[in-house]
Amino acid sequence: METAWDCAGALLRNVKDVLLLCSVSRPLTFMGSQTKKVLLAPLKHPARPFRVSSHDRSSRRGLMAGSLGELLSKTLDALMITSRLVTLVLEEDGTVVDTEEFFQTLGDNTHFMALEKGQKWTPGGNCVPARQPPRRSGIVRVTLDLYKLNPRDVIGCLNVKATMYGMYSVSYDIRCMGLKALLRSLLRVLSHAAQVTGQFLVYAGTYMLQVLANTEEQVVAGSRCRQGVTSG
């Protein structure tokens, strides 16, 4: 009898333990499934500003979107496009944007163009081809800039800038002084010129006197020779 009761008691204890384990494992399983759903759920990107336009750039709109699909849906409504076969391209160079990964790498305020079936991207009026070399109007370009450092200046200053081949530039400033300083400098130049002129006149007069003296000596010597020949 005791052995039967012991077996029955052990069986009841095992059943109780199994029920306890089941009650504990259900919340754990539920929590694991909820954690898996949270981790596997796609991240929702915040809405960012973008610009869209029609294929001929006649209609332009500003939109807020967080994904490529959301931007495409709002573009159809904003531009009133009835066709569902629409492709978004970059307005600046016509690059097709058809993946979410590439879309997320684009910056804010990126300009898109919506193209329907049969429409093609065309460059805008301000678009300059990348391979077109810059135009050079000449070899050297000279720029003259007249300015004043002081409102009382009569002439002012002159800046001369020369640019060669559109790459190298040389500039020189000619600073003119005021009226008093200009007159002072002019008087100095005239005084120096007068001194030089006076010295030149002195040297020229001395040289002329020497030439005249030599000429008189030659005339006197010639007359003496004639007198000696006549007397002989």
119 to each of 24, 55, 113, how far by Cα in Å?
Answer: 63, 7, 11
* Amino acid 9: pLDDT: 60
Please indicate, yes or no, whether residues 101 and 54 belong to a single structural domain of this protein.
yes
Q: Provide the domain count of the chain.
A: 3
Quote the pTM value: 0.39
Residue 104: give the domain boundaries: 48-116
Q: Are the beta carbons of 103 and 97 closer than 8 angstroms? A: yes
Beta-bridge partners for 110: 50
Please indicate, yes or no, whether residues 209 and 169 belong to a single structural domain of this protein.
no
Residue 30 counted as domain residue: no
Residue 36 counted as domain residue: no
**Token pair listed for 11:** 């069986």
Residue 35 counted as domain residue: no
* Amino acid 65: pLDDT: 92
Residue 123 counted as domain residue: no
Please indicate, yes or no, whether residues 157 and 190 belong to a single structural domain of this protein.
no
Per-residue pLDDT of the chain (232 residues; tens, 9 = 90+): 445 555 556 656 665 665 554 554 444 444 555 545 544 555 678 889 999 998 888 889 999 999 998 999 999 888 888 887 889 999 999 999 999 999 999 999 999 999 998 888 988 765 544 455 555 556 778 887 776 767 666 666 777 788 876 677 777 777 665 556 667 777 888 888 888 888 888 888 888 888 888 887 777 776 776 666 565 5
Residue 127 counted as domain residue: no
Q: Are the beta carbons of 59 and 92 closer than 8 angstroms? A: no
Q: What DSSP state is assigned to residue 96?
A: B
